[in-house]
Amino acid sequence: MSAETRVLLIAAPFYEDITEQLVAGAQGACDAAGVTADVVEVPGALEIPAVIALSEQGKAPYDAYVALGCVIRGETSHFDYVCGESARGLMDLTLKGVPVGNGILTVENIKQARVRAHVHEKNKGGDAANAALALLSLKKKFGAA
């Protein structure tokens, strides 16, 4: 990869401290890969696939995308809808050939989120960025880029 490779990190900062760690992990992975990463914030996890679709429709889409956010189970079924629909939207984009790394945490409590997000623990933001970059490499290998 090179600095000409452009990655968009889309962050839903509802749980700001969690999302900051996810973004830091993703940015670190992009830096390590030598690619350029921009960050944009959206209101929530449901809006992330829409932002990717809008970018893809633009004149200068990014080469890869990283979805970052956190959804914590609450007392209602809202958790299930947000998790399922955001994942479905991201998968739909991926199946259309858009390299997307899914770093939207879906957890039972804030403790689980902190462990998964922190750059010195599970670093799921970094994992999501690496997944997006791996998909981009495969896209290029298969001549789809």
User: What are the pLDDT digits (tens) for 38-69?
Assistant: 999 999 999 999 999 999 999 989 999 999 99
Name residues whose C-beta falls within 8 Å of residue 80's C-beta, 6 or more positions apart in sequence.
none
Alpha carbon distances (Å) from 92 to 15, 35, 79: 25, 25, 20
Whether residue 1 is predicted with pLDDT greater than 80 in this model: the reply is no
Q: What are phi and psi of 144, to 5 degrees?
A: -95, 0
Superfamily of domain 6-141: Lumazine/riboflavin synthase (3.40.50.960)
Alpha helices in the chain (DSSP H): 16-33, 48-57, 78-95, 110-117, 124-141
Give residue for tokens 């996890």.
Answer: 45
For residue 30, which of 46, 7, 62, 13 has the smallest C-alpha distance?
A: 7
Grouping H, G, I as helix, E, B as strand and the rest as coil, residue 111 is helix
| CA dihedral of 121, 35, 67, 28, whole degrees rounded to 10 | 20
Q: What are phi and psi of 141, to 5 degrees?
A: -60, -40
pLDDT of residue 2: 82
The verdict on whether 120 is a catalytic residue reads no
- Would you place residue 144 in the very low, low, confident or very high pLDDT band (cuts 50, 70, 90)? confident
pLDDT above 90 as % of the chain: 92
Question: CA 73 to CA 71: how far, in whole Å?
Answer: 7
Cβ-contact 26, 103 below 8 angstroms: yes
* Selected catalytic residue, list 38, 43, 54, 78: 78
